[in-house]
Amino acid sequence: MINSALLCGLAFLLTVAWGKWAVSLLLRHGIGKRIRVDGPESHQAKSGTATMGGLYILAGMGLVMAILTLIGAPVALLPFVAMLAYGLLGAFDDLRGLKDTKGVGWLARYKFPWQWGMAILLSLSLFWAMDSHPMIVPFSGRVLDMGIWFIPVSTLLIVATSNAVNLTDGLDGLAGGTLSMAFLAYGVLAMLMGNQGLDHFCFALCGVLLAFLWFNVHPARLFMGDTGSEALGAGLAVVAMLSGYWLLLPIIGAIFAVEALSVILQVGYFKCTRIKYGEGRRIFRMAPLHHHYELGGWPEVQVTLRFWIIAAVAASAGVSLGMMR
């Protein structure tokens, strides 16, 4: 635990040191966020904020992993490969959004086939790289081998989690804070099961995310963009699969699950009522859920902090369930 805490702190210091330079570099290259016109009106003031901060996160994580490798410390490579792959897809999405005057990036009907294809390739790579494909059942601690079922489950989880995190990334500090708690929870579980490489990865990434939050908390100077949200979502899914505790992901990542569910319910209800009544109706003021509370009068910082509290409780609950035997 002491070594893991030190690793988290070291990752933070190594990454935060050049964060100000990274923000300036992005702005010098014209990489400033175009706010979507269909979002809350108050967010238009954020237009021009440096975005594609996922590049900063990936670079910081790459630096820490390189140092760990040089000193001979075990570190998990597979989740970082997943982050790079989905970071590439997210970067393409971000660049399209920068060129669009309305801030709309890669349309879903074109993006999803690439996401599914990439997830299949990553899942096949995980399947072949792993000696066993465990699924640890909460409460009992029973370990089952998933066999070939590992591939479709992993594929679905990677696509779902990357998009859920992407939907959560809508307020200053929201996605970064909840992600750091989720990775911290999986780091603790990996440490308890003796997977040193995976726990090093999780604690190091937690430190890098804290460095990102230094520039992302309200008022944000840097957004992670789809480059970061899709990369981190895919990385979290792969960490869950490698740990065997993927059944706990909806609990540890409860905020991401609820945010995605709010969008699914909103879109589904709108389409059904449009067919039935001739006009679409809504369940929430706006989806994802954080915008519902924002439009209900909660200040942005209050929404973020309360979601952080829920994320911390959920992560603690997930670790507790993982420790039960």
Q: Is 300 part of a structural domain of the chain?
A: no
Q: What digits encode the pLDDT tens for the residues 140-154?
A: 878 999 999 999 999
Distance, in Å, from the CA atom of 22 to the CA atom of 46, rounded to the nearest integer, reads: 18
pTM of the model: 0.94
Q: Is the pLDDT of residue 38 over 80?
A: no
Q: Please provide the average confidence, as pLDDT, over all residues in the chain.
A: 92
Residue 284 main-chain phi, psi, to 5 deg: -110, 160
User: What is the arithmetic mean of pLDDT over 29-33?
Assistant: 85
Structural domain total, the chain: 1
User: With contact defined as beta carbons under 8 Å apart, do 295 and 40 qualify?
Assistant: yes
Q: How confident is the model at residue 47 (pLDDT cuts 50, 70, 90)?
A: confident
Main-chain phi, psi angles of 135, to 5 degrees: -130, 115
Instruction: Report CA Rg, the chain.
Output: 19
The yes-or-no verdict on residue 105 having pLDDT over 80 is no
Residue 40: is the preceding peptide bond cis (ω within 30°)? no
Decide: 242 and 76 in contact? Cβ < 8 Å: yes
pLDDT of residue 37: 63
In a domain, 288, yes or no: no
In a domain, 280, yes or no: no
Chain centroid to Cα 14, Å, comes to 21
Task: Give the pLDDT mean for 195-223.
Answer: 95
Q: Tokens standing for 163?
A: 């998009």
Rounded distance between C-alpha atoms, residue 6 and residue 11, angstroms: 9
Tokens linked to 120: 């299949």
Per-residue pLDDT tens digits for 168-205: 999 999 999 999 999 999 999 999 888 889 999 999 99
Helix H, strand E, coil C: the string for 158-171 is: HHHHHHHHHHHCCC
Q: Is residue 58 situated within a structural domain? A: yes
Q: Is 72 part of a structural domain of the chain?
A: yes
Q: State the residue range of the domain holding 181.
A: 2-135+146-247
